Amino acid sequence: MTSTLPRTVDPARLQEVLDGRWAHVRRDAREQLGDPKWAPVYGESVQEARERITRLAGELAATGRVGLGFPKEYGGEADAGGSVTSIEMLAFGDLSLMVKAGVQWGLFGGAVQLLGTQRHHDAYLPDIMSFALPGCFAMTETGHGSDVQQLRTTCTYDAGTRTFDLHTPHQAARKDYIGNAAEDGRMAVVFAQLVTQGEPRGVHAWLVPIRDEDGNPLPGVTIGDDGPKAGLLGVDNGRLSFDHVRVPREMLLDRYGQVAEDGTYTSSIENETRRFFTMLGTLVRGRVSVGGSAGSATKLALDIAVRYGDVRRQFAAPGRDREIVLNDYLVHQRKLLPALATSYALAFAQEELVNTMHDVQTAVHEHGEAVDEAAQRELESRAAGLKAANTWHATRTIQTCREACGGAGYLAENRLPQLKADTDVFTTFEGDNTVLLQLVAKGLLTGYRDAFGSLDGWGRVAFVADMVRETVLERTAARGLIARLVDAVPGRDEDVPLRDRGWQLKVFEFREKHTLEGAIRRLRRNAANEGMEPFQVFNSVQDHVLRTASTHIDRVVLEAFVAGIERTTDPDAKALLEALCDLYALSTIEADKGWFLEHGQLTPARSKALTATVNTLLAELRPHMVTLVDGFAIPREWKAAAILEEEADRQEAMHLEDRAAADARLRTAVVAPDDSATSVEVAPAQ
């Protein structure tokens, strides 16, 4: 599958493919969010940033775009995929505004919508959508962020007063890192352990007023400020504690669990853990949004670094009359191009995820269909895995882009510092990435209904039950095409060209399957060892277990890339994407070549050839670097990086001056041919 790339490719053809199903939402954002007021601002104090972002959140509400995800009865568009895409587009602008919007309309509004029932919707959704009622999503506690099933805030029903008693028993139980809490929030969706009739019923959520009309904390509510953060200065993260706060019975968001006046508890989901994860599962949109937003920030950073690298020059070379452009250096290409290929790959995977999320949620919430539990579980796993992949890619790549711009990359005027600082928290919020990989792994390892549990307690029984299962990987995208490509690979791998897509798909599959089977085998061996304590059964292979997740995600992403290429109609764009997909696949294999060599999937000779092939691909793709970032279609006014405006002019001015100076020296030399004339020859080469 060696490609001969066309000389030029129309970036609009790439954009079409990337824009996908919600192209209209993206187009609309590009057109409407061009006003400078939406651009990020640097150098503000925390207070200035918060005030600006609060104001902009109100203006954003007025545009109506925040309603995309809400029901039509309340003026929304019931378009789950559109709402996530809209957040992803906001992430090209000020990331504080994106997060503030995500808190208000995604987390807070989404919880009221999806965990509440009609009385909550009627009473609050209109004000939530208009931002008249700013609110918080108060789940995380100082002591429990990853393991939210173990939250320590209690909410105890008192049938006598028909109210709940919401209480923070100690400092580890205070709500922490809560967006909208420090200043703006008037109400909060508070997650706490429900106790009724003396019995714990697990985590539920209540809609709790926290501030009065004047913005003062209500009695019993203590509000703290998380203070300055690494980034996201415009988001007022804070802390909430409750000292026996009385909450009316009807403020329980009771879609999945109800408490009658006398305190009787009812739920359609018997198992407490399953109920909890069902509730959490409805909130998957947040995780999908973070992954998508990380993708946008990464594209923007790549756009800046690639364009700068295309005009910035450094170091002369013999025979070249100007210094070398950074993008011409192999090692610069090594930094930027595989990252660019991964951004394309993840964009295709994200598009697929948003599609799935939209369809699953629309079926349930709009068409009233029963939850397809397998589809829901798959969706959650995919959302978790791609959130981790997207956000780690963002942290790594934005750092690379910052370094690729040298000292200029450290100046706020060139945008990269803020992109870095703002996105940094993405790897640990909406689920710590390591914990999310564990969630993905657990899904892969058990594949059973009872996997639908907490992340802890990898007990003995579950593993033994697992062993009988045969590992069959289900292809995730473009199934027919991928099957054909894999089947077409001839028997002896060594003879297959490295750029054969079928071979690439096959080794990604092999690695996942082998890793998964290895993890199962190790867990079984451990579980059979009576002397091993349960925690060690799991912990001694935790690294291997997490690898099942990362290899799975890699395959999902590659398959999505292949499916994306399949949807590409323009032959030139298609050829370019084929080469880019080769680079994604081969640089991923290269980064893990130790494993492929250990497991007989690469011979030493083929492994060395792999590196050479990656370098060949870099040379092929070099002329298309700018086209590839053009494909992201990021409007000029969103970039807000001074170097993009200035560097080309500076280089040109220097070049003209250099030439004029050389001419002058030459004239001097001709007029007065003394010793100094020799400098004419030396100068251009040195």
CB 133 within 8 A of CB 211: no
Residue placing its CB nearer to a copy of itself in the complex, 85 or 395: 395
Q: Report the nearest approach of a copy of itself to the CB of residue 681 (Å).
A: 12
Task: Identify residues 19-58 at the interface with a copy of itself (CB under 8 A).
Answer: 42-43, 45-46
Specify the stretch interacting with a copy of itself by CB under 8 A; choose among 244-252, 277-285, 449-457, 626-634: 449-457
Task: Tell which residue, 128, 122, 3, 47, has the closest CA to residue 575.
Answer: 3
Q: Is 244 in the site for a copy of itself (CB under 8 A)?
A: no
Q: Which of 23, 481, 486, 597 binds a copy of itself (CB under 8 A)?
A: 597
Q: Report the nearest approach of a copy of itself to the CB of residue 536 (Å).
A: 9
Q: How many residues bind a copy of itself (CB under 8 A)?
A: 113
Q: Report the nearest approach of a copy of itself to the CB of residue 184 (Å).
A: 19
Q: What angle do CA 425, 428, 434 make, to 5 degrees?
A: 145
Specify the stretch interacting with a copy of itself by CB under 8 A; choose among 49-57, 310-318, 550-558, 627-635: 310-318
Residue placing its CB nearer to a copy of itself in the complex, 83 or 423: 423
Specify the stretch interacting with a copy of itself by CB under 8 A; choose among 254-262, 369-377, 500-508, 601-609: 601-609
Site of tokens 């890339």: 561
Q: Is 406 in the site for a copy of itself (CB under 8 A)?
A: yes
Q: Which of 230, 260, 464, 670 binds a copy of itself (CB under 8 A)?
A: 230
Residue placing its CB nearer to a copy of itself in the complex, 457 or 571: 457
For residue 229, what are the contacts with CB-CB under 8 A and spacing of at least 6? Answer: 235, 237, 425
Q: Is 430 in the site for a copy of itself (CB under 8 A)?
A: no
Specify the stretch interacting with a copy of itself by CB under 8 A; choose among 5-13, 324-332, 575-583, 625-633: 324-332
User: 23-32: long-range contacts (C-beta < 8 A, 24 or more apart)?
Assistant: 25/68, 25/82, 25/85, 25/86, 25/89, 26/85, 26/89, 26/633, 28/65, 29/65, 29/86, 29/89, 29/90, 29/92, 30/89, 30/633, 30/635, 32/63, 32/65
Structure-block tokens of residue 23: 């192209």
Q: Which of 62, 465, 653, 670 binds a copy of itself (CB under 8 A)?
A: 653
Q: Report the nearest approach of a copy of itself to the CB of residue 654 (Å).
A: 4
Residue placing its CB nearer to a copy of itself in the complex, 80 or 107: 107
Q: Is 594 in the site for a copy of itself (CB under 8 A)?
A: yes
Q: What angle do CA 572, 292, 408 make, to 5 degrees?
A: 80
CB 116 within 8 A of CB 253: yes
Distance CA 445, CA 211 (A): 46
Q: Is 117 in the site for a copy of itself (CB under 8 A)?
A: no
Task: Annotate each residue in 153-172 with x if it binds a copy of itself (CB under 8 A) or - if it does not, as one string.
Answer: ----------------xxxx
Task: Tell which residue, 249, 192, 248, 261, has the closest CA to residue 218.
Answer: 248
Q: Is 455 in the site for a copy of itself (CB under 8 A)?
A: yes
**H-assigned helices in 450-500:** 460-466, 479-487
Specify the stretch interacting with a copy of itself by CB under 8 A; choose among 318-326, 367-375, 548-556, 631-639: 318-326
Q: What are residue 210's phi and psi, to 5 degrees?
A: -120, -20
**Per-residue b or e along 331-349, where b marks 16 or more CB atoms closer than 10 Å to that residue's CB:** ebbebbbbbbbbbbbbbbb
Q: What angle do CA 152, 157, 160 make, to 5 degrees?
A: 150
Q: Which of 348, 429, 463, 510 binds a copy of itself (CB under 8 A)?
A: 429
Q: Is 12 in the site for a copy of itself (CB under 8 A)?
A: no
Q: Is 473 in the site for a copy of itself (CB under 8 A)?
A: no
Classify residue 143 by burial, with Cβ atoms within 10 Å: 0-12, 13-18, 19+.
Answer: middle
Q: Which of 615, 635, 667, 681 binds a copy of itself (CB under 8 A)?
A: 615
